[in-house]
Amino acid sequence: MLCAATSKMILKHITFTKRRSLATVTNELRRLFESDPEIIDSNPYELDRHGRGESFHPSKPPSHIVHVRTTQQIQDVVKACASTSPPTPIVPFGAGTSLEGHVGSTNPDSISISTTKNFNQLVSVDPSSLQCTVQPGITRHKLNHELRATGLQFMVDPGADASIGGMAATNASGTSAVKFGVMRDNVLQVKVVTSSGEEITAGSKTFKNSAGYDLKNLFVGSEGTLGVITEITLRLHPIVDHIESSVCAFQSLTQACDAVVTLLSCGVPVAKCEVLDGPAIHAFNLYSKDVDDMTPQPHLFVELQDISEAGLASQRNIVEEILNDCGGTNIEFSANPAVRKKLWAARHDTYYASCALRPGEGMGIVTDACVPLGQLASVIAATAEDIQTSEVIGPVFGHAGDGNFHCILPVRDTDSEEYLQKLEDVNDRLISRTLAAGGTCTGEHGVGSGKMKYLTTQYGEGAVDIMRAIKESLDPKNIFNPGKIITP
């Protein structure tokens, strides 16, 4: 066993070596980007912002940020960081909207490759092929604004104005997934800088591709742990003129979820289908000033889309009949764009509304369970009951059409260890309940650092060992976002 003095000396040597590596890489980056020095950023505010995203989970800011403009600059950063001894970690950063600690560094000597400031363009649009190619830093709102003249739109909607690169990295989805799928369904091709500094292409610009291993879907959802995404080709959909939103109340979450199963089993092509429990509606009422108050009981929000008014009317009639048969009350439909926009904006603010139920400084623990649709009613009802009996605040809501739901457990800086443990226990029981039902610990947010401990329980040691082997093969020096998804 090492004596305390020897251990202290070894630790001091390791720290010195790491700091020397950081000095080496920052000097090299300044040399490489001598003609464009402003892309290297060490502003304390920006370092803090790039070190945490919107996650509750603890993390560290990077040492420096590189606001890259080109793929070549990304390659230069990767090569420089890989060449030091020990290697310097790299954390890709988009809009900073992730919830599971993806963008926070586990090492204060890391370099953040940031794309939203300078690497954020719509590269090309091919309307006849229903696709476009973008740089990773472009945000969802900016992309759809630039696409509007083509009559096309990008349909994955996580609520936040996330960067497309970040959405691809986490395999994000959201309210529209029930009809249009998740990022893996909407990304056709990616270009990625690997740990050697080489740029490779994964996938193709076709809707079908059976050539070789599916590397595209390996990188989509890899959370920046296997490489840095530099370009993304996306599938687009026509803008539809005939849209209606519906709001409906139920006596129980089970009734609401049963209505969802009935809607989908009958083949109704709902574009969005969201469930909110009574506490979520209560938070909604307190926080949103643009939408009329609703009774604080479980609700469904449904959106319908069609290319014709007649088709929309047919959908509306079927939906209204099913909602009535399933016990729905206070059913309202609206085709008014302003009303619909306010409703869905308020729905997307549910995270902030839930956190506001506990005033003070802090954030929220966000769960992201997803279960087979037939199990949703029992799992979501048991979760809401567990939250109530545990005497914690935790509104429940989510994307009922694909079995994905969230709980927001607000955390305050003044919370006791006992209360924090109570929240952790609620979260652990939720994951156990979800996995027992054949579900997953994360449907759309990703693993990050927050859900690493559940991965082996979900998949087993053998599957996680294969993931670890993939990581070691593609990133042998462990420079890409270390400490996320799996441990070395």
DSSP character string of 277-318: -HHHHHHHHHH-SSS----SS-EEEEEEEESSHHHHHHHHHH
Q: Which pLDDT belongs to residue 122?
A: 99
Q: Which pLDDT belongs to residue 11?
A: 37
Q: Which pLDDT belongs to residue 19?
A: 56
Determine whether 160 is exposed, middle or buried from the number of CB atoms within 10 Å of its CB (0-12, 13-18, 19+): buried
Asked whether the predicted pLDDT for residue 37 surpasses 90, the reply is yes
Instruction: Compute the distance between CA of residue 265 and CA of residue 115 in angstroms, rounded to an integer.
Output: 42
- The pLDDT of 266-290, averaged and rounded, is 95
Q: Which pLDDT belongs to residue 360?
A: 86
pLDDT, tens only, 220-272: 999 999 999 999 999 999 999 999 999 999 999 999 999 999 999 999 999 99
Q: Which pLDDT belongs to residue 8?
A: 47
The more confidently predicted of residues 160 and 5 is 160
Determine whether 147 is exposed, middle or buried from the number of CB atoms within 10 Å of its CB (0-12, 13-18, 19+): buried
Asked whether the predicted pLDDT for residue 15 surpasses 70, the reply is no
Task: For the full predicted model, state whether its pTM sits above 0.75.
Answer: yes
- Residues whose CB falls within 8 Å of the CB of residue 19, separated by 6 or more in sequence, listed in order: 109
Question: Which tokens is 280 given?
Answer: 């979520």
In terms of C-beta distances under 8 Å and separation of at least 24 residues, what long-range contacts does 155-158 make, across chains too? 155/179, 155/180, 155/186, 155/236, 155/237, 156/180, 156/181, 156/182, 156/183, 156/186, 158/97, 158/444
- Residues whose CB falls within 8 Å of the CB of residue 56, separated by 6 or more in sequence, listed in order: 99, 363, 364, 365, 366, 411, 450
Q: Which pLDDT belongs to residue 156?
A: 98
How big is the CA angle at 296 (ends 289 and 325), to the nearest 5 degrees?
115
Q: Which pLDDT belongs to residue 103?
A: 92
> In which residue are the tokens 């940020």 written?
65
pLDDT, tens only, 357-390: 998 878 899 999 999 999 999 999 999 999 999 9
Instruction: Compute the distance between CA of residue 58 and CA of residue 328 in angstroms, rounded to an integer.
Output: 42
Domain with CATH 3.30.43.10 in the chain: 15-114
pLDDT band at 3 (very low <50, low <70, confident <90, very high): low
Domain with CATH 3.30.465.10 in the chain: 122-238
Share of the chain above pLDDT 90, in %: 88
Instruction: Compute the distance between CA of residue 201 and CA of residue 41 in angstroms, rounded to an integer.
Output: 29
- State yes or no: cis peptide before 127, omega within 30 of 0: no
Q: Which pLDDT belongs to residue 136?
A: 99
The backbone torsions φ and ψ at residue 394, rounded to the nearest 5 degrees and listed phi first, read -165, 80
How big is the CA angle at 171 (ends 433 and 440), to the nearest 5 degrees?
10
Q: Which pLDDT belongs to residue 58?
A: 80
Q: Taking the CB of residue 445, how many other CB atoms lie within 10 A of it?
A: 24
- Cα 233 to Cα 158, 209, 229, 401, 435, distances in angstroms: 18, 14, 11, 26, 33
Q: Is 251 helix (H, G, I), strand (E, B) or coil?
A: coil
Q: Which pLDDT belongs to residue 54?
A: 84
Nearest to residue 422, comparing CAs of 388, 397, 378, 449? 388
Q: Does domain 122-238 have CATH number 3.30.465.10?
A: yes
Domain with CATH 3.40.462.10 in the chain: 240-446
Instruction: Compute the distance between CA of residue 53 and CA of residue 59 in angstroms, rounded to an integer.
Output: 10
Q: Which pLDDT belongs to residue 14?
A: 41
pLDDT band at 12 (very low <50, low <70, confident <90, very high): very low
Q: Which of 93-102, 180-189, 209-218, 311-320 has the lowest mean pLDDT?
A: 93-102
- The pLDDT of 47-63, averaged and rounded, is 88
- The pLDDT of 455-473, averaged and rounded, is 98
Instruction: Compute the distance between CA of residue 257 and CA of residue 381 in angstroms, rounded to an integer.
Output: 9
Q: Which pLDDT belongs to residue 425?
A: 98
- The pLDDT of 1-8, averaged and rounded, is 49
Give, in words, the CATH class of 15-114: alpha beta
Asked whether the predicted pLDDT for residue 108 surpasses 50, the reply is yes
Instruction: Compute the distance between CA of residue 483 and CA of residue 102 in angstroms, rounded to an integer.
Output: 9
- The pLDDT of 36-51, averaged and rounded, is 95
- Cα 61 to Cα 109, 160, 227, distances in angstroms: 9, 22, 20
Asked whether the predicted pLDDT for residue 395 surpasses 50, the reply is yes
Beta strands in 83-186 (DSSP E): 90-93, 111-114, 122-126, 131-134, 152-153
Provide the edge-to-edge strand list for the sheet that holds 40-41: 40-41, 64-67, 111-114, 90-93
Q: Which pLDDT belongs to residue 362?
A: 80
Residues making up the chain, counted from first to last: 488
Q: Does domain 240-446 have CATH number 3.40.462.10?
A: yes
- The pLDDT of 177-185, averaged and rounded, is 98
- The pLDDT of 388-401, averaged and rounded, is 96
Point out which residues pair with 332 in neighbouring strands. Answer: 247
Average pLDDT score over the chain? 94
- The pLDDT of 449-458, averaged and rounded, is 96
Point out which residues pair with 407 in neighbouring strands. Answer: 396
| Amino acid found at 385 | E
pLDDT, tens only, 197-220: 999 999 999 999 999 999 999 999
Share of the chain above pLDDT 70, in %: 96
- The pLDDT of 52-78, averaged and rounded, is 93
Q: Which pLDDT belongs to residue 18?
A: 54
Asked whether the predicted pLDDT for residue 7 surpasses 60, the reply is no
Beta strands in 170-310 (DSSP E): 187-193, 199-203, 228-235, 237-238, 242-249, 272-276, 299-306
